[in-house]
Each structure stands twice: as C-alpha cells, then as structure tokens.
A = this chain, B = another copy of it.
C-alpha cells in the first residue's frame, strides 16, 4: 500500500501521523513541512512574547527527533506544491529539487496564514508562527539574545536587526480578537504604551458581556482601547513605521501588530479541484474526508461540523486540529473514526480576566442559524459569597424559544470563570434544554462554587424566558 502522506507538520498533521503509526505500525507515514518548525504550540506565542514563557523552544511539543523515533518520515523544508488526485501523487519541492511522491491516503494539514490587508513596512508585524513570535520578542524585550540556543532553528542574523534597536515606546495593535487582546497584555508587560484598534466590539465571537468586561480590564490596565474604529493605514518613517491613521486622526507609533484574522491555506487544494465549502475552507465529511477519494483535510485549513446546527463551520482552533488529525490517523489505519463536531468552544485570557464561549452567544448569530433565540445575562458569585476569593462571574445564555434548546453562551470573570464554559459545551453536545441545564447536578462547595453555579443561575433566569 502506498504511504500515508501528510502535508504540514503541525497539530493536525502530526497527530494524524502519530496515531496512524501507533495503530498500524507497518504503514509507511511521510510528513512534508515547508518550514523549519514542526509540532509547536501556536496558542502559546503571545505568552512567549510576554516573556511568561521564557524560551521559544518551550513551545515545541515534539522535536523532529521524537517524531522520527515514532518511525514517521519527517521532511522539513519540503513544500508540497501540487496534488495530483488521478495519479495519487503529490509534487514536493525540497532542497534537492522537485519530485513526485505517491500516496495511499493524503492529509492536507496546511493550516492558515495571517490576513494582512494593509500596506506595511518595517516594524509592522503579524503573529502567526514561531518566526513571527521570535521577531516580535526580539523587538520588544531588551534582554533578548539572538544567539541563544533556545531559539532552535531560527537564524540569529534574521533577528539581530530587531534586537539591536531600542524597544518601542508606543505600539498599535490592529484587531481586537485573540491575538490583539493577548498581545495587549504581552506588550504591557514591558511597560510599552499600547493602543488597541478594533472595528466593532472586542472579541466578537464572545458577545457583548465579555467584550465589555475585557474592554474595561484592558482600560484599567492602561491599554488604550479604540473600539468602533476603522484603521486606514500606517505611515512609514526612516526607521520603520512611524504612525497609524484612523478616522481623521493619526497616532505616532514605533511598532504595530496586525491581528485581523487568518485565511486557510487552500491553494493546493483548489488547484487540484478539491471542493471548498461556503466558509472557503476545505469541505470535509464527518470523517474528515474531502470530496476527493483518499484525500483528507484537518486543522485550520478544513471546515468542521457545528454541534448545534450540524452544518459546516470554520473555527480554526487547537483542539479541533489535534482531534481531527488523530481521528483521521485512526481512520487511515483501518478504523473509521469521526473527527467530532465543534461547538466553537473557546477561552481567552486578558490580564486577570478569563472568558469562555460556546455555541451561539448572541441572538443575532442564533437567528442567522435559523433559531428563534432568547438570551439572558446574569452575574453571580464564583464561590460562596462568604468565602475568600469569591468574584463576580457573568454568564450569557442563549436558547431557542420554541424548543427550549440551549444554543450557546459565554462566561467571564476573574476567578476560574473561563473553564466553566466546558459545562455548557457538554450540554450543547447533549442537545440539552434550558430546563435540563437548570437541573444539572453540578459541584458545590464554598471554596469552589456557590450552591447554584453561575451557569445554573443563568439557566434558572433563562428558564423563565423561554
């Protein structure tokens, strides 16, 4: 049998490669990665920039050596430039030139890239991958050493120009999503003046209750938040970016990060006539298979099926990639395994605040998905009121009026709020109604929760409204 070929050596690709090898050790598995880095924790990059994670190589999950030990043939610096479904081969370009590689099964784990709609110059960064993270850290951290061994395969000479210039005094962040909010915290750790620009509200998928709480936290931490503000562009100076233009205003800056979204890397899929979905990511069935026989897609390049609607959706997140990759590895090893649905469950940290979301948070989203939504937002304690450390926890819960089915919600607060969203994610998977949610036997003890967990309080209030 021809090998299982994986395009992209990150979460989805390597989960699939490892799982396939574990389940079917005799199957040949070949991974092509166009860059130098494999198996790294993308979500950890803001904390590396902040310095909370000390070394870049701390973000590596598996080293190339560990991958090879699993008997996976890993080829870095090898780009797959074409898929030839009829021949069941891929075209690979590596340091030694171009060649064809036959596949029995193929997984596209090509990920996504940062969207960058502005004309930029020096000192305007995006944050997508370890080289970006290293460059930004080099630019902002006065103690940065480009010759450190803990920079892995980074070229010291590529970082030296960033490291030798004075750290920026004022940074503009464009985009108030995950990257924007997390980078605001990261830059603040260096005493940098931070301006965060966002078209609408912060963190749109989290809804207004979270947006408000995060904005007020950023504000109290000294970040200047410009919500409802359209950025027009940057001005370039002699030594990189010198200003940012918005409305009829201009702010002098020394550096900028643009985090306005990511785009799935679908080029080779499109060239091979592999179908994309309406979201413009690669369409897959519940086993992660594309419309082309033997070709799978997983991770940021692929769609998923939504827990609530059963319809295709695109929410590129880490667990989704790992889980789908692992399932596909099991499937190609001979045991067909669904990749699992997603509720769009996500959590984010903003200084001491944590927030979570799952399903459809806002009535608007829910209405667009064909429901007749009703929503309530409540604030309750994180612990018994008399127990030290209790903090306000705000929960938004949305349900369908006719059926009472829970559609989604959010949680935000300073005391262990974020992971409370898992209860809701599980209830969404179960298709629970508000009445069922209200009667869940959740854990209570004064140090951990009030008698009625904030999720239950929200359910009680919403139950009166559905």
Q: Are A425 and B446 in contact (CB under 8 A)?
A: no
CA A161 to CA B402, docked complex, whole Å: 63
CA A91 to CA B317, docked complex, whole Å: 63
- The B-contacting residues of A in range 405-419, CB under 8 angstroms, are 416, 418-419
CA A319 to CA B439, docked complex, whole Å: 10
Known: A53-B387, A430-B426, A441-B342. A451 touches B420 (CB 8 A): no
Determine the residue in chain B with the shortest Cβ distance to A58: B386
Q: Are B422 and A52 in contact (CB under 8 A)?
A: no
In the complex, which of the residues B58, B59, B342, B443 contacts A419, with contact meaning CB atoms closer than 8 Å?
Answer: B443
CA A387 to CA B445, docked complex, whole Å: 27
- Could you say which residues of chain B place their CB within 8 Å of the CB of A439? 323, 338, 340-341
CA A47 to CA B387, docked complex, whole Å: 8
CA A343 to CA B441, docked complex, whole Å: 6
Q: Are A345 and B53 in contact (CB under 8 A)?
A: no
A404 near B: Cβ within 8 Å? Answer: no
- The B-contacting residues of A in range 390-443, CB under 8 angstroms, are 416, 418-423, 425-427, 429-430, 432, 436, 439-443
Determine the residue in chain B with the shortest Cβ distance to A418: B448
Q: Are B425 and A387 in contact (CB under 8 A)?
A: no
CA A446 to CA B422, docked complex, whole Å: 15
A307 near B: Cβ within 8 Å? Answer: yes
Chain A 339-350 per-residue mask, 1 if CB under 8 angstroms from chain B, else 0: 011111111110
Determine the residue in chain B with the shortest Cβ distance to A437: B426
- Could you say which residues of chain B place their CB within 8 Å of the CB of A322? 451-452
Known: A420-B419, A453-B422. A47 touches B446 (CB 8 A): yes
- Could you say which residues of chain B place their CB within 8 Å of the CB of A445? 43, 346-349, 418
In the complex, which of the residues B343, B346, B348, B427 contacts A426, with contact meaning CB atoms closer than 8 Å?
Answer: B427
- Could you say which residues of chain B place their CB within 8 Å of the CB of A345? 441-443
Q: Are B416 and A443 in contact (CB under 8 A)?
A: no
CA A430 to CA B426, docked complex, whole Å: 9
How often does this chain occur in the complex, in copies? Answer: 2
A375 near B: Cβ within 8 Å? Answer: no
18 A–B contacts, CB within 8 A, in A order: A11-B451, A43-B444, A44-B384, A318-B451, A319-B444, A340-B440, A345-B443, A346-B443, A347-B444, A347-B448, A347-B449, A354-B448, A416-B416, A418-B443, A418-B445, A419-B448, A419-B449, A430-B430
CA A356 to CA B445, docked complex, whole Å: 10
Q: Are B53 and A444 in contact (CB under 8 A)?
A: no
CA A358 to CA B329, docked complex, whole Å: 32
A142 near B: Cβ within 8 Å? Answer: no
Determine the residue in chain B with the shortest Cβ distance to A415: B416
In the complex, which of the residues B53, B356, B432 contacts A386, with contact meaning CB atoms closer than 8 Å?
Answer: B53
A247 near B: Cβ within 8 Å? Answer: no
**Which of A320, A338, A427, A442 neighbours the largest number of chain B CB atoms within 10 Å of its CB?**
A442
Q: Are A356 and B425 in contact (CB under 8 A)?
A: no
Q: Are B416 and A419 in contact (CB under 8 A)?
A: yes
A41 near B: Cβ within 8 Å? Answer: yes
- Could you say which residues of chain B place their CB within 8 Å of the CB of A348? 445
In the complex, which of the residues B346, B416, B436 contacts A429, with contact meaning CB atoms closer than 8 Å?
Answer: B436
CA A442 to CA B418, docked complex, whole Å: 11
12 additional contacts (CB under 8 A) given A44-B387, A340-B440, A425-B443 = A53-B387, A53-B446, A323-B439, A340-B439, A354-B447, A419-B419, A419-B443, A419-B448, A422-B423, A422-B440, A423-B423, A429-B430
- Could you say which residues of chain B place their CB within 8 Å of the CB of A52? 387-388
CA A407 to CA B108, docked complex, whole Å: 37
Determine the residue in chain B with the shortest Cβ distance to A320: B441
Q: Are B451 and A422 in contact (CB under 8 A)?
A: no
Chain A 305-330 per-residue mask, 1 if CB under 8 angstroms from chain B, else 0: 00100000000011110110000000
CA A222 to CA B425, docked complex, whole Å: 40
Quote the shortest CB–CB distance from A326 to chain B (angstroms). Answer: 8
Q: Are A41 and B443 in contact (CB under 8 A)?
A: no
Known: A426-B426, A426-B427. A441 touches B340 (CB 8 A): yes
CA A320 to CA B346, docked complex, whole Å: 30
In the complex, which of the residues B317, B444, B451, B452 contacts A444, with contact meaning CB atoms closer than 8 Å?
Answer: B317
